[in-house]
Amino acid sequence: MAEELTVSSHIKHHLQNLAFGRKHEEIEPGVWEPTGQWGFALSSGEASQMGFWSIHVDTMFMSIMLGTLMMWYFRSVAKKASAGVPTAMQNFAEWIIEFVDTTVRGSFSGGKTTFVAPLALTIFVWVFLMNLMDLVPVDIFPQIAAHTGSFLFGVDPHDVYFKIVPTTDINAPLGMAITVLLLIIFFSIKIKGLGGFFGELAFQPFGKKMLPFNFALEVVTLLAKPFSLAMRLFGNLYAGEMIFILIAIMYSAGMVIGSLGALLQVGWAIFHILIITLQAFIFMVLTVVYLDMAHQEHH
């Protein structure tokens, strides 16, 4: 029973984000009250009580850091690019840009791609880098964070949480998906006008006589696009992270099971490379397709 609890607490610890928000205290079992202070959550219960306005610091830190790394890489390549023999970095950057540009040209027929192509490149590379963090051994960064918190702030290492895969936190995929939704609405209004946009919501697909039904159906369809984008990315990466955690637990079960775990980890990591790349590609392509649909007039 003790082993089960240890395994369970280990899994929960790895699935908990480092949350910063309004502190709460448990005055009796299951009853929490706000203290008026702000700080980091020291337990999963305290993190859940912080509610909607808490900030997942690890998700913000990793996503911003990876986004900065992406921009630094492409900026460095652009500054050093030459017409002569390209470097390996320039070759790789040009290959990614050409791949994304070809994909956009095949999926977007709504006019110039001067905005859509850079957006697609940003989405593909950024989501891929965030997904790629899932291949880092699950205990490395949480252990670094735990020892850092203990050394600098005197916090119990078991009370320090850190998840390095932003896309396993539903807030990151939802944030990107909401941005896509706002872009869909913006371009729909820009291309069709405010009346044309609401006309599509009210009069499609069954005509003016079915206005309430049309509106309800089209609003659900509109909201389902970003929601499905977010849930697809989150679900696949969350499941992948869970499998890595379960495999990591096998190392503590003896030499034979640990050796089997090592083989499983290598096999799953190789297979997972396909998943993280595919999910970044799907997020990019569907964003382009949705923006293309926003540019199309429906009669």
Q: Which residues are catalytic?
A: 228, 232, 236
Strand partners of residue 34:
24
Q: How many CB atoms lie within 10 A of CB 67?
A: 16
Looking at residue 211, its amino acid is: L
Q: Is 71 helix (H, G, I), strand (E, B) or coil?
A: helix
272, 135 contact by CB (below 8 A): yes
- With tokens 């396909």, the residue in question is 274
Contact partners, residue 81, CB within 8 Å, separation at least 6: 90
Burial level of 152, CB count in 10 A (0-12/13-18/19+)?
exposed
Distance CA 174, CA 183 (A): 14
Q: Is 39 helix (H, G, I), strand (E, B) or coil?
A: strand
110, 292 contact by CB (below 8 A): yes
